[in-house]
Amino acid sequence: MTPEQALAMAKENGAKVVDVRFMDFPGIWQHFTVPMSELEASTFEDGYGFDGSSIRGWQPINASDMLVVPDASTAKMDPFFDHPTLVLIGNIVDPITREPYSRDPRYIAQKAEAYLKSTGMGDTAFIGPEAEFFIFDDIQYESNANSAFYAIDSVEGTWNTGRDECPNLGYKPRHKEGYFPVPPTDKFQNLRTEMMLVLEQLGIDVECQHHEVATAGQAEIDMRFKPLLQMGDQLVWFKYVLKNVAHRAGHTVTFMPKPLFEDNGSGMHTHISLWKDGAPLFAGDKYAGVSQEALWAIGGIIKHCKALCAFTNPTTNSYKRLVPGFEAPVNLAYSSRNRSAAVRIPMYSPSPKAKRIEFRTPDPSCNGYLAFSAILMAVLDGIENKMEPGDPLDKNIYDLPPEELAELESAPGSLDEALAALAADHDFLLKGDVFTQDVIDMWISYKTENEVNPVRLRPHPHEFHLYYDI
């Protein structure tokens, strides 16, 4: 879509205002709104000024002025605002040099796509994330110097079978039994369908929606695969739509990976395939019907998995889900069909166009632009250096004898460990200037100072249960 087409779209839909959006460094969508009179064809080159020092992980106070330049191709009408609103996603640039900003996550995704083309290994990376989430009815939390708590509630929560609900009608999925009961046990069918239809209204192709394994409203809505940058844009729309549809219905959605104890966490199994000149590159005659390039790509993901987790599993809470022995995809192995391996080769369809690899470790707390770009860089490094992934693991990992299990490497056990792995292994990310050293250093610094250390320094509520009477 050109600037002229975006302006025509706004006029056709009676837009009164323009909402300009961009992704901050950790991965939260930011926005500001201007009247339609402030949007002209020249704006798509001139941009709008804003304070970059107020955005997490970005500019210092002495160099705060920045520009966000709207990308006309991203134009959509917001489905929630009272007044007709044109939404444009913007790219961040320096107001003096007009150079793209190295810490803009969307720019990193643009560079990743450009680097893929420059290598000659392919021209398109298709990404298909399966972002799981929870729909809750109530969430309370607090963290002070002398107290800390959280309390989650859901009409579906199995802990509410004995609650006086005037009347309690039951049908609450037990732990790990939420995949896929029909209503009335599944109480969010209509809400998920509404989410799906709003996504489709925005031009986002959806494959299915369903209840997930956990109690208390765990769910999944799958988007059809798209090129990397487009999927990065879609993932932020996806989170925005799901949160707002739930909010106006009196519910709350979270993409926090592990909000519940004793039940499944939320992952984001991420499918990736490379194409060139309209032909899929991962279909072949090797194991599970994949090509040699696909096996090398798997080798790249396995080799760099610990560093990748700093971007694909970027929260301290991510590692409450990634615990060995609890069905999480932490084992650095690959297989067809076996869902206990970190990398799986889906076997649903014999079509070469459907052949892809599935990285199962990521979770939906990630910044999609950064996570997808990092995964692509690991894939390309694997292909370039012909990294063999070893033998596939087609056994049930949880039935392996201890001596065999000991030979399997695992994903990091904490965000601190993942950041240390990134510090030691990031040269593959620097190729083509996709990630810069400044981005790597700032990511490690920001996460350590704002997330790892604050969590590490605070007493945990369960520690009082364990130790208060020592």
R_g of the chain computed on alpha carbons: 23
Q: In residues, how long is the chain?
A: 470
Which residue among 24, 113, 132, 186 is the active-site one?
132
Question: Does the annotation count 220 as an active-site position?
Answer: yes
Distance CA 256, CA 249 (A): 20
Residue 132: active-site member: yes
CA distance 427 to 420: 14
Please pick, among 51, 200, 391, 463, the residue that the annotation labels catalytic: 51
For 47, 63, 65, 454, the CA distances from 53, given in Å and listed in that order, are: 18, 7, 8, 22
Catalytic option among 24, 104, 186, 220: 220
Please confirm, yes or no, whether 321 is among the known catalytic residues: no
Does 212 participate in catalysis according to the annotation? yes
* Candidate list 21, 106, 269, 271, residue with the active-site label: 269
Task: Look up 360 and say whether it is catalytic.
Answer: yes
Instruction: Kindly tell me the sign of the dihedral angle through the C-alpha atoms of 201, 206, 208, 211.
Output: negative
Q: Does the annotation count 130 as an active-site position? A: yes
The 10 Å CB-count burial string (b at 16+, else e) for 227-237 is: bbbbbbbbbbb
Question: Which residue in 339, 456, 458, 460 is the catalytic one?
Answer: 339
What is the distance between the alpha carbons of residues 243 and 247, in angstroms, rounded to a whole number? 6
Residue 78 appears among annotated catalytic residues:
no
In whole angstroms, give the CA distance from residue 359 to residue 307.
14
- Which of 271, 360, 426, 451 is the catalytic position? 360
| Catalytic site includes residue 404 | no
Tokens matching residue 320:
């409450």
List 137, 212, 263, 416, catalytic entry = 212
Q: Which of 358, 363, 416, 451 is catalytic?
A: 358
Q: Of residues 113, 130, 263, 381, which has the active-site annotation?
A: 130
Q: Is the dihedral of CA 237, 238, 242, 243 positive or negative?
A: negative
Q: Is 339 a catalytic residue?
A: yes
Please identify every residue annotated as catalytic: 51, 130, 132, 212, 220, 269, 339, 358, 360
